Amino acid sequence: MPIPSQPSSQPSTASRRFTSLKGSFPWLLPIVLVLLFLAILIWLPWQAQRMEANERQEQLIADTLWVEQALQFQFTRNQENLSLIGQEFINKAEQATTLNERLRLFANSNHEIQQLALFDKHQQLIGGSITLLHEQNQRETLRQTYLQLPELQLQSSKSQCLRNSTQSGLSKDSIICRFPILLNGEVAGNLFATYRLQTLLDETVPWWFAQENEITLLDNDEKIIAKRTAGGPGKNVYTHNRALELPQLSFTLHTNSIKTEPKLLSNLLVLSVVLLSLGLVWSLIALWRDINRRLRAEGALRKEAAFRAAMENSLVTGLRARDMEGRLTYVNPSFCNMIGVPADELVGRLPPMPYWAPEVKEEYEQRFAQILTGTVQPEAYETIYQRANGERFPVLIHESPLVDEHGKQTGWMSSILDVSELKRAEELSRQHEEKLHANARLATMGEMASMLAHELNQPLAAISSYTTGALNLLEQKGSDPTLLHAALEKARAQAQRAGQVIKSVHEFVRKRETARTRIHIDELLHSVMPLVELQAHSSHIHVHLQVEEQLPTVLADKVLLEQVLLNLTRNAIEAMQDTAYEHRHLRIIAQTVKDEQAELALTTRVQIQVIDRGHGINSDVAESLFSPFYSTKSSGMGMGLNICRTAIEFHGGSLSHRANPQGGTIFEFSLAASQQEEN
């Protein structure tokens, strides 16, 4: 009978291997670091040398390109200036002495130019940069030097440069360039300039580049034409060739750096050894430090979670979190206190919510459906919530997506702010502004009281004169009835004028509630013009009203706009007190403009400008011009422009100012045309 085998109490071979590997794992890291150290000792110096060599070569290429561009710029600038001089003298037919002097001055200021000569279209010499130009032998020498070149194209409209290989009296390294002088598209003359290439290199190449490089100018046969070696000969380690293109002539700009191959830093190996030795030491203590770091991280996480919870619980703003289905996953105490419902009754609940007001329930559902489908982006919006006792209150809601660590959206986070107190404060501010506007109108009328009395005296005196004349005509027998009729008509016109002034003042100062109605800007301007002319008359200021025909209507409060116009025109009149009488003109312009900043389409707006020829507004004054209680007048309250800007912003517009090109200031504002007009 076989004896059954007993289970072995020794661990298996695979288990022993795993235990051995697990025990030796902490020592594998130092071995790997030693091998990495040896690899870096070989690779790092070679790589550093290679990078430094590449940097030097790239710097040489960039510097060579800069030098080539500098040479091209100097040559192009000389060509443009010489062509301009030639055109001026050919067009104006100036005297040759003036031309010679200008050419000599140009050659003296540009040392690379050895000689200049200007010929007309008949190859007759007009002028040059050399002296004794009036002598016949000198003039003949210049003609032979330039006009008998074998490759010369005198009738070509393009510039041309040639090598000087046979002409005597010129430098061997020189080139001759022909710049045609064009008149109405045809060649009216030729200006010849002789360039010294060696001087061009010496003058154009900067000293710092010449100290580090050998610069050579080669022809097409690679023969040296000019060379500059301020820092010594090149080492032929870093070189670069760059083509220098001149009109119908090309050279090669060869640069040869005096630098040698980079040498390895002696302390590079020492630094590598120190750094990798520190890595070996660090690997020995990495295991137990990792455990301590994990423990500290867990403790910091718990503290941060407790801190965040305390911070969220202390917020006055309500917070709520919803998942992608609209289920509430989190609410803070402030939100619960705001709606009067405990958190355990809210968390995990799906819409509809207990804080939704029944009258706007459809709006809640529609907005959340749009957010889930992505048809509307989450943004701040206002709505109405209700408390547990049924009380409604306005709230401002900000929403943003909740994203997990993988970048996937998991829901929405909302912040809810009770804006009941803010609404009440806005209502009080609106009431105060209305009172301020009414007081400002009364103050304006107080300033016009004296002028009003003077203005009414004129029509009353005229009425008295006309009626006296009418009575005299009645007493005379056989008087002409047409004269009597004309006198009575003039008296009636003066009476209507006085009545219109009093009616305008009464309408302006009358206290009323702010109300927007559809009004015509042209009718508004004509109704306020008597008051504007009343202010302008005493200062001998001419008022010009320019209204575009068929202006669209605007939705606005008539009294507020009248107050804005009177304040702006009064400021304009006061600004022209020291202006000369012939310049005292006040212009009021009303016209339509297109609002190109509209998102969907161009919107029609009605723009009103008040333009004066006064002293203008300084930049330091302009910064505080619309601030409350800021005034440049000794007796001003500093509220006029502030009230004007508030009134225009109440209508959805903006008030701005800019300098008048003819002197003075332009104040302008625009109001949106009513929808019926646009449609």
Are residues 553 and 520 in contact, defined by beta-carbon separation less than 8 angstroms?
yes
pLDDT in the model for residue 610: 93
3-state secondary structure of 13: helix
Tokens of 183: 């008149």
Q: Which of 56, 34, 60, 437 is nearest to 240 (CA)?
A: 60
pLDDT in the model for residue 587: 93
pLDDT in the model for residue 9: 44
pLDDT in the model for residue 511: 46
The Cα–Cα gap between 73 and 90 comes to 26
Tokens of 124: 């007759």
Are residues 165 and 65 in contact, defined by beta-carbon separation less than 8 angstroms?
no
Is the CATH number 3.30.450.20 carried by domain 316-418?
yes
Is the CATH number 3.30.450 carried by domain 67-257?
yes
pLDDT in the model for residue 1: 41
The Cβ of residue 231 has, within 10 Å, a number of other Cβ atoms equal to 17
Q: Which of 604, 607, 621 is nearest to 665 (CA)?
A: 621
CATH (residue range 441-513)? 1.10.287
Amino acid identity of residue 190, one-letter, is N
Instruction: Give the CATH fold of the 515-679 domain.
Output: Heat Shock Protein 90 (3.30.565)
Q: Residue 304, exposed/middle/buried by CB under 10 A (0-12, 13-18, 19+)? A: exposed
Strands 585-595 and 542-547: parallel
pLDDT along the chain (679 residues), means of 10: 44 54 58 70 69 82 88 87 82 69 86 85 81 63 75 83 67 82 84 87 84 87 85 83 87 86 57 67 73 83 78 75 84 85 86 84 80 66 84 84 82 82 76 67 57 57 69 71 73 69 58 70 86 78 90 85 84 87 90 69 82 83 63 54 78 85 89 69
Sign of the Cα pseudo-torsion (290, 293, 297, 298, in order) = positive
pLDDT tens digit sequence for 159-178: 888 887 655 556 667 888 88
The Cα–Cα gap between 370 and 377 comes to 8
Element (H, E) at 255: strand 249-257
The Cα–Cα gap between 258 and 260 comes to 7
235, HSE (Cβ side, Cα atoms, 13 Å): 11
The model's pTM is 0.37
pLDDT tens digit sequence for 186-199: 888 888 888 888 88
SS (H, E, C) 88-127: HHHHHCCCHHHHHHHHHHHHHHCCCEEEEEEEECCCCEEE
Sign of the Cα pseudo-torsion (488, 493, 499, 501, in order) = negative
DSSP string across 158-182: S-EEEE-SS-TTS-TTEEEEEEEEE
Sign of the Cα pseudo-torsion (94, 96, 101, 103, in order) = positive
Are residues 112 and 74 in contact, defined by beta-carbon separation less than 8 angstroms?
yes
Tokens of 597: 């900043």
Give me the helices (H) in 350-419, please. Answer: 361-373
Element (H, E) at 276: helix 267-313
250 alpha carbon, distance to own chain's centre: 44
Are residues 116 and 107 in contact, defined by beta-carbon separation less than 8 angstroms?
yes
Determine the Cα angle at 213 with ends 210 and 214, to 5°: 90
Tell me the C-alpha to C-alpha distance, in Å, between residue 259 and each of 51, 56, 267, 322, 661: 15, 9, 22, 68, 61
Domain with CATH 3.30.565.10 in the chain: 515-679
Domain with CATH 3.30.450.20 in the chain: 316-418
Strands 113-120 and 174-183: unpaired
Are residues 319 and 335 in contact, defined by beta-carbon separation less than 8 angstroms?
yes
The Cβ of residue 447 has, within 10 Å, a number of other Cβ atoms equal to 12
The Cα–Cα gap between 363 and 352 comes to 12
Cα Rg of the chain (Å, integer) = 46
pLDDT in the model for residue 82: 86
